[in-house]
């Protein structure tokens, strides 16, 4: 049995750590690239969204490397993602790969469901070993996200553009290579320190833009054409509420205990949308209402054909909490130059708006 996984941002790093500690045979397919996308687009049913296409491309590339047990998240009540795995398995079979897709249903059984799945995959490894490996994976995830948060702060105000991105790329590699807690801690300390020393324009008051929308396109820069980096180049500070580490913390540990981080967002969205519509639609509306005062604008990312986000997109203009929103539909047809033109115009709009506010 050889395990293969799809990509989502840097998630492969904690997964790799987990598999290594359990001595499993696994492959990590190449990070998302043009070929992944082409494969995914070619073999996806018509009208499928970009998360489906890219993960399908990953699974095909993993199968090419000999993976026969492919992991996919699944569950009920969360948009089409619920039947991704079944559909993708059919595609793989029709392509002649005899691979099985194992659904990791985190939405119902939470932490327990995930740990049980790992136990099955690891050929009944001891619970002590599983929990130790899982903890190490989580530790890597937390380190990556803590560094990324720092990067988001430095990007817009650094003197030499690109410095933070370069450090982040190095930090990701170092995190991947760290093989015990001690070296992992060192990586975190090192890079947070280096980032704090990056020369910056202290007088700058960067525009603050919230990145909201669908989970996958938010976390996979390949699918959104590096929208965060591009905003950083334009001198905009990005705030993103979704981080994989946060999501894991809540959905695996805290939600089962009755703590719901999304309650705030849902409550804020209530006057305009009263129920969950799948995906992150409800939260998107909530973010707009909640942050109309403290952000300059929102960039709303949605996969093309994503029903929940389309509903959210059409509700947002009618909220009385007023803040400019730029919706970007992510798809293989999204072109970089078109997106940059929109981002530049959006940033101009936000600048003028802030200036007008100051005058009043």
How far is C-alpha 146 from the chain's CA centre?
14
278 touches another protein (CB under 8 A): no
6/31 Cα distance (integer angstroms): 9
The minimum distance between CB 168 and another protein, in angstroms, equals 11
Q: What is the DSSP letter of 29?
A: P
329 touches another protein (CB under 8 A): yes
- Other residues' Cβ atoms within 10 Å of the Cβ of residue 315: 18
- Which of 30, 82, 113, 278 touches another protein (CB under 8 A)? 30
CA dihedral 16, 125, 98, 4 (to 10 degrees): -10
- Please list, residue by residue across 95-132, b when 16 or more beta carbons sit within 10 angstroms of its beta carbon and e when fewer do: eebebebbbbbbbeebeebbbebbbebbeebeeeebee
Identify which of residues 197 and 345 has a Cβ nearer to another protein in the complex.
345
Identify which of residues 135 and 161 has a Cβ nearer to another protein in the complex.
161
344 touches another protein (CB under 8 A): yes
- Which of 109, 110, 249, 342 touches another protein (CB under 8 A)? 342
Largest CA-CA distance found in the chain, in angstroms, rounded:
67
Within 79-98, the residues that bind another protein by CB under 8 A are none
| Angle, in degrees to the nearest 10, between helices 307-315 and 281-291 | 30
| Angle, in degrees to the nearest 10, between helices 127-154 and 12-21 | 160
The minimum distance between CB 94 and another protein, in angstroms, equals 26
- Which of 124, 182, 203, 337 touches another protein (CB under 8 A)? 337
- Which of 1, 23, 25, 34 touches another protein (CB under 8 A)? 34
The minimum distance between CB 154 and another protein, in angstroms, equals 15
284 touches another protein (CB under 8 A): no
38 touches another protein (CB under 8 A): no
Q: What sign has the CA pseudo-torsion 220, 226, 227, 228? A: positive
Q: Which stretch binds another protein (CB under 8 A): 79-87, 186-194, 196-204, 337-345?
A: 337-345
Q: If 0-12 CB within 10 Å is exposed, 13-18 middle and 19+ buried, where does residue 184 land? A: buried
33 touches another protein (CB under 8 A): yes
Residue carrying structure tokens 């702060």: 153
How far is C-alpha 288 from the chain's CA centre?
19
65/80 Cα distance (integer angstroms): 27
- Which of 162, 173, 186, 205 touches another protein (CB under 8 A)? 162
Identify which of residues 136 and 272 has a Cβ nearer to another protein in the complex.
272
The minimum distance between CB 340 and another protein, in angstroms, equals 8
Structure tokens at 157: 């105000």
The minimum distance between CB 331 and another protein, in angstroms, equals 8
Find, among 114, 113, 125, the residue nearest to 23 by Cα.
125
**Interface map 222-241 toward another protein (x if CB under 8 A):** ---xx---------------
Query: Using CB under 8 A as the criterion, which residues of the chain lie in contact with another protein when the complex forms?
Result: 30-31, 33-35, 161-162, 165, 169, 225-226, 314, 317, 324, 329, 333-338, 340-342, 344-346, 348-349, 352-353, 356
């Amino acid at each position: 049995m050889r395990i293969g996984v799809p990509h989502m941002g840097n998630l492969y790093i904690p997964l790799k750590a987990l598999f290594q500690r359990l001595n499993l045979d696994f492959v990590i397919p190449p990070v998302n690239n043009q070929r992944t996308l082409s494969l995914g687009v070619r073999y996806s049913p018509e009208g499928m969204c970009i998360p489906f296409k890219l993960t399908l491309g990953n699974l095909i590339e993993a199968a090419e490397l000999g993976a026969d047990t492919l992991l996919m998240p699944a569950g009920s009540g969360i948009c089409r993602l619920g039947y991704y795995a079944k559909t993708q398995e059919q595609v793989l079979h029709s392509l002649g790969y005899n691979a099985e897709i194992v659904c990791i249903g985190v939405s119902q059984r939470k932490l327990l469901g995930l740990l049980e799945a790992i136990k099955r995959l690891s050929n009944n490894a001891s619970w002590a070993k599983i929990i130790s490996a899982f903890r190490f994976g989580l530790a890597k995830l937390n380190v990556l996200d803590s560094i990324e948060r720092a990067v988001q702060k430095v990007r817009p105000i650094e003197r030499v553009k690109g410095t933070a991105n370069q450090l982040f790329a190095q930090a990701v590699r170092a995190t991947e290579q760290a093989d015990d807690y001690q070296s992992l801690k060192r990586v975190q300390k090192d890079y947070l320190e280096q980032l704090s020393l990056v020369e910056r324009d202290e007088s700058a008051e960067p525009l603050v833009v919230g990145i909201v929308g669908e989970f996958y396109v938010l976390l996979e820069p390949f699918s959104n054409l590096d929208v965060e980096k591009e905003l950083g180049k334009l001198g905009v500070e990005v705030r993103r509420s979704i981080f994989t580490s946060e999501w894991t913390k809540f959905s695996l540990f805290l939600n089962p205990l009755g703590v719901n981080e999304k309650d705030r967002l849902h409550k804020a969205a209530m006057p305009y949308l009263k129920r969950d519509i799948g995906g992150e639609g409800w939260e998107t509306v909530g973010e707009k209402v909640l942050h109309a005062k403290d952000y300059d604008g929102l960039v709303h990312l949605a996969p093309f054909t994503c029903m929940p986000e389309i509903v959210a997109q059409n509700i947002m203009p009618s909220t009385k909490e007023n803040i400019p929103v730029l919706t970007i539909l992510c798809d293989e047809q999204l072109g970089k130059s078109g997106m940059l033109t929109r981002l530049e115009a959006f940033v101009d709009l936000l600048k003028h708006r802030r200036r007008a506010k100051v005058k009043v």
